Chain A
Amino acid sequence: MIADIIINSLINGSTYAMLAIGFSLIFGVARIVNIAHTAFYMVAAYCIYFATHKLGLPPVVGMLGGVVVATCLGLITYKIFIDPIREHEAAVLIATIALAMALQEVMLIVFTGDYLSVPALVSGYFSITGVKIFYQHLITFVAVLLILVILRAFLTKTRLGLAVRCTAQDREVANLMGMNESRVALITVGISVALAGFTGAVIAPLTIVEPFMWLHPLIMMMAVVVLGGLGSIKGSFIAAYMLGFAEALVVFLIPMGAFLKGSVALSIMIIVLLIRPEGLFGVVFEEER
């Protein structure tokens, strides 16, 4: 039982962590609450379906294709719809919601509302201490750690990463220092959407592909990001596993109440916020000038 819970929470947590890191990045740098983040995750999942089911290509090609398509789509829509109105936060918020709705509708029109699925990258399972785990779950877990390592290296060791971190800290001063703030924002959007696409590629075999699949991860992802503190990647990572653990606890300890796992996770988030209004590791921003 304990092994079940731990393993389950690691798996759930990895999913949320991957999504939350991308979301946190884009918020920290560009101050955009990107409601459409999980919608790009959905686009990538559909790309894999299209590649494997309609074109008959191997899943890996589908994954790469999914990431590329999602990233391009993200960059293009950002440039056309979001960039011109970046100064108006409320408008940006609505624009991302409308964008997510538009993507959902396009998927609905092209693929209809039927439930679809995608083959796993590596099928089959293995056992640890009597608990069965799919290889795909392992891939998910490894992928998260990999992303974290790469991202950390990028942010701390490269010049571009430095620019990203500076822009996150203080936009205007970064601009003054010669970093093209809008270009940095664009690159961050690209990285963030690529992360969302990569998440879709890795998680898609574990879930059902349908036009409304972006809503539930969105809620959980936002809970994770808020709990961990907006703008803090470390916070998102830790909060993801915390909430994953909470969900696994609910499912295993109250089998009749498994549907309540979302509510419990959100309640935990609220309670923590009562104590620490910026989230666990939240970076409290100076009032933007």
Chain B
Amino acid sequence: MDRFKLLTKLSFVALLALTLALPCWGADTIKIGVIGPMQFVQGKGHWNGAMMAAEEINAAGGVALNGKKLKIELIQADSNEFINITDATNAMELLVTRDKVDFIVGGFRSEAVLAMQDIAMEYKTIFIGCGAAHPELCERVANDYDTYKYFFRGTPFNSKFLVKTCFIQMATVGAILKQSLGLEKVKVAIVAEKAMWVDPMIAAAEGFIPKMGMEVAGIWRPSPVATDVMAELSAIQRSEAQMIFTIFSSSVGIPFARQAGELKIPAVQVGINVEAQKEGFWQATQGMGDYVMTLNTYCPGVEYNELTKPFMDTYTKKYGEPPTYTADTYSAIKYAIVPAIEKTGTLDPDKLVAFMENDEHLVPSGKVAYYKDEQGRPTHDIKWGPGYLTSLGVQWQDGKQIGVWPYKWKASPDAPEITYKGIEPYKIAPWVVEKYKK
């Protein structure tokens, strides 16, 4: 036991030494804090994307500021946000006060990012959110500009646009089903996890689906962490729906896809299934997740613009798997923060914010521009639409993710038709064809 006490004492001394030593580091570097759930795929994406950006910039010499070239120094902070919000806020505070970072990128879980945002704003540190889609994060910017102006959303676009994109994809698939299978009216079963961010989407879907000439067969709300959805699937099959509109962000996406595939439920799945965006989805569903379609930002083989392919290839080569959207910390650093520093020639947060909020720039997933709300107030939220950010519709075909939307998509009757490079046609699951084809 004495040894134990000694160890504790030594550890405290070590911490003290480290604390005193820390401020001496990096007087000539730009410190960027990367905060996220580092033991999970989202946090790893945060870190990997940031690392890639920092390495590329440092390899090219660094950031040009006032005649000098400064290197970027990354500081990792594990927010542990899935388990403990207290931990997340402490990690953020540590980043800002102890490590004295100049910028912060990352964040994932909305509940945590709301709390972390407050801390970053208190210390007037620019924080680019790369993972949380909650509109409130940017509504705060509009409502209290002076306090919250240091926050920008990096990715994904907020949940209102998420809904819009989903509906477009659903309408597209609905049209394909109607045409290929000769159906009179497509019946849609809405299956959405029980979570707050989903509620407005369901109400919107109930209104939208009839407008598209389709019918709502029923609404099911399993728990976000449900592991058995046989009950829901039996009921869906009985309702004779041909399409299942899924809204899943949690683990329930896996058993749903797996069990629906194993039972060969005669309905196609389209919508949001965050687990289906990950590489591990195929193994997690034991290969039963074929033909599942989901919204996704990146897909191997699909290019938005000339930046997409180099980003994806380098990332895949370096880390062994394609990037998910949290890896957009890469864009946040390389195409938002660094150019802002170089063009304004200062690290002063207020001047940088003034520059950044009017700056439109290309990123591997499209083009970032920040819009103002109806009252003309800046929101620091990212624009959606052709030419800006649209994301993709991705379908699992034969163990691989294939981009299937936008495929000859027109945002409005007189808009240009869009098909990104690498997009292929959507495939209907064979057992669905078998059931319905006349």
Direct contact of A and B (CB under 8 A): yes
Our pick among A8, A115, A251, A261 for the contact of B251 (Cβ within 8 Å) is A115
Flag if B254 contacts A117 (CB, 8 Å).
yes
Q: How many A-B contacts at CB < 8 Å in the complex?
A: 95
Tell me how many residues of A have a C-beta within 8 Å of chain B.
35
* CB-nearest residue of chain B to A120: B286
CB-CB under 8 A for A117 and B286, given A125-B262, A258-B223: yes
B131 is an interface residue with CB less than 8 A from chain A: no
Question: What is the CA–CA distance of A97 and B435 in the complex, to the nearest angstrom?
Answer: 51
CB-CB under 8 A for A259 and B223, given A113-B39, A114-B40, A208-B255: yes
Chain B positions 376-425 with a Cβ under 8 Å from a chain A Cβ: none
Chain A positions 66-87 with a Cβ under 8 Å from a chain B Cβ: none
CB-CB under 8 A for A116 and B219, given A123-B262, A134-B262, A258-B226: no
B82 is an interface residue with CB less than 8 A from chain A: yes
Flag if B82 contacts A113 (CB, 8 Å).
yes
Question: What is the CA–CA distance of A115 and B283 in the complex, to the nearest angstrom?
Answer: 9
CB-CB under 8 A for A132 and B234, given A119-B286, A257-B221, A259-B222: yes
Flag if A112 contacts B40 (CB, 8 Å).
yes
B313 is an interface residue with CB less than 8 A from chain A: no
Question: What is the CA–CA distance of A131 and B230 in the complex, to the nearest angstrom?
Answer: 10
CB-CB under 8 A for A258 and B221, given A53-B283, A116-B280, A206-B227: yes
A4 is an interface residue with CB less than 8 A from chain B: yes
Our pick among A116, A210, A257, A261 for the contact of B283 (Cβ within 8 Å) is A116
Our pick among B219, B259, B280 for the contact of A115 (Cβ within 8 Å) is B280
Chain B positions 205-255 with a Cβ under 8 Å from a chain A Cβ: 218-228, 230-235, 237, 251, 254-255
Tell me how many residues of B have a C-beta within 8 Å of chain A.
38
CB-CB under 8 A for A108 and B254, given A115-B275, A248-B231, A258-B226: no
B121 is an interface residue with CB less than 8 A from chain A: no
Flag if B231 contacts A258 (CB, 8 Å).
yes
A56 is an interface residue with CB less than 8 A from chain B: no
CB-CB under 8 A for A115 and B254, given A251-B231, A258-B194, A259-B222: yes
Set of chain B residues within 8 Å of A53, measured between Cβ atoms? 283
Set of chain A residues within 8 Å of B82, measured between Cβ atoms? 113
A176 is an interface residue with CB less than 8 A from chain B: no
Q: Which of B218, B226, B258 has the most CB of A within 10 A?
A: B226
Mark contacts of A249-260 with chain B using CB atoms, 8 A cut-off: 1 yes-contact digit, 0 otherwise. 001100111110
Our pick among A12, A120, A256 for the contact of B219 (Cβ within 8 Å) is A256
Set of chain A residues within 8 Å of B235, measured between Cβ atoms? 4, 252, 255
* CB-nearest residue of chain A to B237: A132
Set of chain B residues within 8 Å of A116, measured between Cβ atoms? 280, 283-284
Question: What is the CA–CA distance of A113 and B230 in the complex, to the nearest angstrom?
Answer: 25
Question: What is the CA–CA distance of A117 and B254 in the complex, to the nearest angstrom?
Answer: 9
Set of chain A residues within 8 Å of B263, measured between Cβ atoms? 125, 132
Q: How far is the CB of B254 from chain A (nearest CB, A)?
A: 6
Q: How far is the CB of A200 from chain B (nearest CB, A)?
A: 13
Flag if B231 contacts A252 (CB, 8 Å).
yes
Chain B positions 278-298 with a Cβ under 8 Å from a chain A Cβ: 278, 280, 283-286
Question: What is the CA–CA distance of A59 and B203 in the complex, to the nearest angstrom?
Answer: 44
Set of chain A residues within 8 Å of B176, measured between Cβ atoms? none
Set of chain A residues within 8 Å of B280, measured between Cβ atoms? 114-116
B14 is an interface residue with CB less than 8 A from chain A: no
Mark contacts of A235-259 with chain B using CB atoms, 8 A cut-off: 1 yes-contact digit, 0 otherwise. 0000000000000100110011111
Mark contacts of A102-126 with chain B using CB atoms, 8 A cut-off: 1 yes-contact digit, 0 otherwise. 0000001000111111011001110
Flag if B251 contacts A208 (CB, 8 Å).
yes
Set of chain B residues within 8 Å of A256, measured between Cβ atoms? 219-221
Set of chain A residues within 8 Å of B37, measured between Cβ atoms? 113
Flag if B221 contacts A259 (CB, 8 Å).
yes
B41 is an interface residue with CB less than 8 A from chain A: yes
Set of chain A residues within 8 Å of B226, measured between Cβ atoms? 258-259
Flag if B220 contacts A258 (CB, 8 Å).
yes
Mark contacts of A24-64 with chain B using CB atoms, 8 A cut-off: 1 yes-contact digit, 0 otherwise. 00000000000000000000000000000100000000000
Question: What is the CA–CA distance of A251 and B258 in the complex, to the nearest angstrom?
Answer: 19
Q: Which of B218, B220, B233, B283 has the most CB of A within 10 A?
A: B283
Flag if B286 contacts A259 (CB, 8 Å).
no
Question: What is the CA–CA distance of A52 and B225 in the complex, to the nearest angstrom?
Answer: 24
CB-CB under 8 A for A4 and B284, given A115-B251, A115-B254: no
CB-CB under 8 A for A113 and B234, given A134-B262, A258-B221, A258-B222: no
Flag if B219 contacts A255 (CB, 8 Å).
yes
* CB-nearest residue of chain A to B192: A256
CB-CB under 8 A for A131 and B283, given A208-B255, A255-B219: no
Flag if A210 contacts B231 (CB, 8 Å).
no
Set of chain B residues within 8 Å of A108, measured between Cβ atoms? 39
Chain B positions 112-139 with a Cβ under 8 Å from a chain A Cβ: none
Q: How far is the CB of B192 from chain A (nearest CB, A)?
A: 10
Flag if A113 contacts B227 (CB, 8 Å).
no
Q: How far is the CB of A103 from chain B (nearest CB, A)?
A: 15
Q: How far is the CB of B157 from chain A (nearest CB, A)?
A: 25
Set of chain A residues within 8 Å of B223, measured between Cβ atoms? 258-259, 261-262
Mark contacts of B302-327 with chain A using CB atoms, 8 A cut-off: 1 yes-contact digit, 0 otherwise. 00000000000000000000000000
Question: What is the CA–CA distance of A124 and B283 in the complex, to the nearest angstrom?
Answer: 17
The 8 A-B pairs with the shortest beta carbon distances in the complex, nearest first, are A259-B223, A259-B194, A207-B227, A113-B40, A251-B231, A117-B284, A255-B220, A258-B222
Binding site for A on B (CB under 8 A): 37, 39-41, 82, 194, 218-228, 230-235, 237, 251, 254-255, 258-259, 262-263, 275, 278, 280, 283-286
Beyond A255-B218, A262-B223, 19 extra complex contacts between A and B, CB < 8 Å: A11-B228, A112-B40, A112-B41, A114-B40, A114-B280, A115-B254, A115-B284, A117-B286, A123-B262, A134-B230, A208-B255, A248-B231, A255-B221, A256-B219, A257-B221, A258-B223, A259-B194, A259-B221, A259-B222
List 19 interface pairs A-B (beta carbons < 8 Å), by A numbering.
A11-B230, A12-B228, A113-B40, A113-B41, A114-B40, A116-B284, A117-B285, A117-B286, A125-B263, A132-B263, A134-B230, A134-B259, A207-B227, A216-B225, A256-B220, A258-B232, A259-B194, A259-B222, A259-B223
